[in-house]
Amino acid sequence: MTTTVQLPDDPIISLVGAGTIGMAWAVVFSTGGMRVKLYDSQPGALETTLDKARARLGDLARHGLIPQDGGVEDAMALIEPVTDLGEALDGASLIQENVPEFVDLKRDLLAQVAELAPENCAIASSTSFIEPSRIFDHVKGRERCLVLHPGNPPFLIRVVEVVPAPFTSPEAVEIGAGLMARAGMAPVYVNKEVEGFVLNRLQGALLREAYCLVRDGVTSVEDIDRIVRDGLGFRWSLIGPFESVDLGTRGGIAGHAERMGPSYERQGAERGQHDPWTPDLVEKVVAARRAILPLDKWEERGAWRDEGLMRLLRTKRDINNG
Ligand SMILES: NC(=O)c1ccc[n+]([C@@H]2O[C@H](COP(=O)([O-])OP(=O)(O)OC[C@H]3O[C@@H](n4cnc5c(N)ncnc54)[C@H](O)[C@@H]3O)[C@@H](O)[C@H]2O)c1
């Protein structure tokens, strides 16, 4: 993405809502060297959050993920608890809302936030499922607003979904994604508003089938977790689902779609979801994969995957053996 907006050298990130995600964002931005203002409407919440942030920072330092020496205190010094909303938003470059997942609560609070926010800041919500149009359509200066959705906890799951509404300005997207990238998050751009965005839609697809398999007595809850943990998810922690089947079939993903496509089509239809992989769609996916990995590099990448999985397997065994 080409940048046209000059990101501030010393941005302030205002976090509104200091529960699980607000605390985790404080860890992300402070370890990214940015000043953080932390606000919550519950008296006492800020103190607890600061204690939790300190503990998580200590864990990260123990694993060498932030400097061992002074890393915790340097980060903590950047986090300022604030009990007044206006003061919390003052001077912000990015405001990140993290209150519970209720549309009306978010709509009311975000309207208030937009009234008090500096003119040129970006205003984002961490919402897991709600399209930005549904929570920002009514607020002042709504072109500043978007969703920046993390996985949990964002200081370990280092991707963030960037979801603009049709009314969001490119500048707001650049500020939000740019500051996230500076804090070490990988922005993933979601081009169209859809409920659940990408991460939770993918998770939803897997969970829908998992529930059906349990309901139909095909397998158990425990074995579904095992098959994802030690099978699909193990592989996906290194390469994604498209790359998995691309590397898993000689001839790449085109061969996979040709040989396995009809079976997947029948499985979908059995669940009332008839979305065949049409030739045009397969061609688009094949072209994207071949641009990333030419077929003459296929063997080499397969060997890289195996090497990576061996190292991961060793780490997993260490973890499981305590
Ligand atoms: N927990 C997750 O796994 C996860 C992952 C990604 C995104 N999210 C999203 O992040 C958001 C927050 O989730 P969470 O798990 O941190 O919730 P949480 O319940 O842990 O924290 C919410 C915080 O918001 C505060 N709050 C409530 N009303 C407020 C108000 N009017 N003003 C200021 N603070 C207020 C609460 O006191 C609480 O501290 C939700 O939209 C959720 O969908 C959660």
Centre of ligand 1 from the C-alpha of residue 42, in Å = 12
- CA dist 57 and 59 (Å) reads 5
* Nearest Cα to Cα of residue 23 among 63, 52, 43, 55: 52
Q: Render the burial of 265-303: b for 16+ CB within 10 Å, e for the rest.
A: eeeeeeeeeeeebeeeebeebbeebeeebeeeebeebee
DSSP 81: E
Centre of ligand 1 from the C-alpha of residue 2, in Å = 32
Tell whether ligand 1 has an atom less than 6 A from the beta carbon of residue 21. yes
* Nearest Cα to Cα of residue 309 among 205, 194, 231, 226: 231
Centre of ligand 1 from the C-alpha of residue 80, in Å = 18
For position 43, what pLDDT does the model report? 80
Reported in sequence order, the residue ranges of the chain that DSSP labels E, i.e. its strands, are 12-16, 35-39, 79-81, 94-97, 122-125, 145-150, 159-164, 186-189
Task: Ligand 1 pocket test: pick from 37, 99, 188 the residue with the most ligand atoms within 8 Å of its Cβ.
Answer: 99
Q: How many CA atoms lie within 13 A of 172 on its CB side?
A: 27
> Of the CATH numbers 1.10.1040.10, 3.90.480.20, 3.20.20.70, 1.10.1740.10, which one belongs to the domain with range 199-311?
1.10.1040.10
Centre of ligand 1 from the C-alpha of residue 140, in Å = 22
- CA dist 54 and 52 (Å) reads 5
Order the strands of the 79-81 sheet from edge to edge: 79-81, 35-39, 12-16, 94-97, 122-125, 145-150, 159-164, 186-189
Task: Ligand 1 pocket test: pick from 20, 49, 149 the residue with the most ligand atoms within 8 Å of its Cβ.
Answer: 20
Centre of ligand 1 from the C-alpha of residue 304, in Å = 40
- CA dist 97 and 113 (Å) reads 9
Centre of ligand 1 from the C-alpha of residue 199, in Å = 18
Q: How many CA atoms lie within 13 A of 276 on its CB side?
A: 7
Which stretches in the chain have pLDDT values below 70?
1-3
What confidence tens digit (pLDDT) does each residue in 150-203 have?
999 999 999 999 999 999 999 999 999 999 999 999 999 999 999 999 999 999
Centre of ligand 1 from the C-alpha of residue 219, in Å = 34
Atom of ligand 1 nearest to the CA of 109: 31
282 in helix, strand or coil? Answer: helix
For position 67, what pLDDT does the model report? 84
Domain boundaries, the chain: 12-189, 199-311
Tell whether ligand 1 has an atom less than 6 A from the beta carbon of residue 83. no
- CA dist 150 and 116 (Å) reads 25
Kindly report the protein residue whose alpha carbon is nearest to atom 30 of ligand 1: 41
Tell whether ligand 1 has an atom less than 6 A from the beta carbon of residue 13. no
Q: Which CATH class is domain 12-189?
A: alpha beta
Whether the ω angle into residue 153 lies within 30 degrees of 0, i.e. cis, is yes
Cα angle 198, 202, 204; round to 5: 115
What confidence tens digit (pLDDT) does each residue in 123-158 have?
999 999 999 999 999 999 999 999 999 999 999 999
Pairing relation of β-strands 145-150 and 159-164? antiparallel
Residue type, 197: F
Tell whether ligand 1 has an atom less than 6 A from the beta carbon of residue 128. yes
The encoded tokens of residue 113 equal 């936030």
